[in-house]
């Protein structure tokens, strides 16, 4: 029985999405293409400029949101003790796939 439960949790682990990590890019801009599913963050002199990721719906779109204090609209980035990122508030794409989701502790929560 115990072995069976272990097997189930192992199979689940194979299909569950691993949480997304953070990659910092030195400078005020993000790369044109994101190589991984991580959240990319442009940081210059300790100041956060923007965060970007490939759209989690799989449409292939490159998303970028601003983190600068001086800019509107803007988002807040927080990173938990495990190094997993959260964005506040939610991300809502105005056209195309119109994805609307929260990024919390590296995981996508669809709205």
Partner 1 sequence: MSTDVTTEESRGLFIEVAGTDLVFRPVSIADRSPTGRQILGYCDVAPREEYIVLQWLSEGDVEEVRSDETVNLDGQTAAKFIVSKADRLYRFFLNDRSLSWPDRSISEAALRILGKIPSAELLYVRREVESDRPIEVGSSLPLADLGVESVYSRLAQWDLNVQGVTVKFDRPDVLVRDALVKAGFNPEQGWIIVLKTRDGKRQVTIDEMVDLRSPGIEKLRLTPREINNGEVPQSRRQFRLLPVDEEGLTARGLRWETFVDGARRWLVLHAMELPPGYAVASTSIAIEIPSSYPTAELDMFYCYPQLSRQDGMTIPQTQVTEAIEGRGFQRWSRHRGAIAPWRPGLDNVITHLALVEAALLREVEV
Contact mark string toward partner 1, 2..31, x via CB under 8 A: --------------------------xx--
Contact mark string toward partner 1, 55..74, x via CB under 8 A: --------xxxx-x-xxxxx
Binding segment for partner 1 (CB under 8 A), chosen from 7-15, 16-24, 33-41, 86-94, is 86-94
Q: Which one, of 63, 12, 15, 14, lies nearest residue 37 by Cα?
A: 63
Which of 35-43's residues contact partners 24+ apart within 8 Å by CB, and which partners? 39/85, 39/87, 39/103, 39/106, 41/67, 41/77, 41/85
Given 75, 78, 79, 84, the residue binding partner 1 (CB under 8 A): 75
Q: How many CB atoms lie within 10 A of CB 64?
A: 14
Number of residues that bind partner 1 (CB under 8 A): 26
């Amino acid at each position: 029985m115990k072995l069976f439960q272990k097997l189930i949790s192992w199979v689940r682990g194979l299909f569950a999405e691993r949480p997304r990590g953070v990659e910092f890019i030195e400078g005020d801009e993000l790369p044109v293409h994101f190589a991984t599913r991580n959240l990319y963050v442009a940081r210059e002199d300790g100041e956060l400029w923007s965060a970007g990721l490939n759209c989690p719906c799989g449409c292939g779109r490159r998303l970028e949101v601003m983190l600068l204090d001086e800019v509107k609209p803007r988002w807040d980035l927080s990173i938990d003790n495990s190094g997993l990122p959260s964005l506040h508030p939610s991300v809502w794409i105005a056209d195309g796939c119109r994805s609307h989701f929260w990024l919390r502790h590296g995981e996508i929560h669809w709205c």
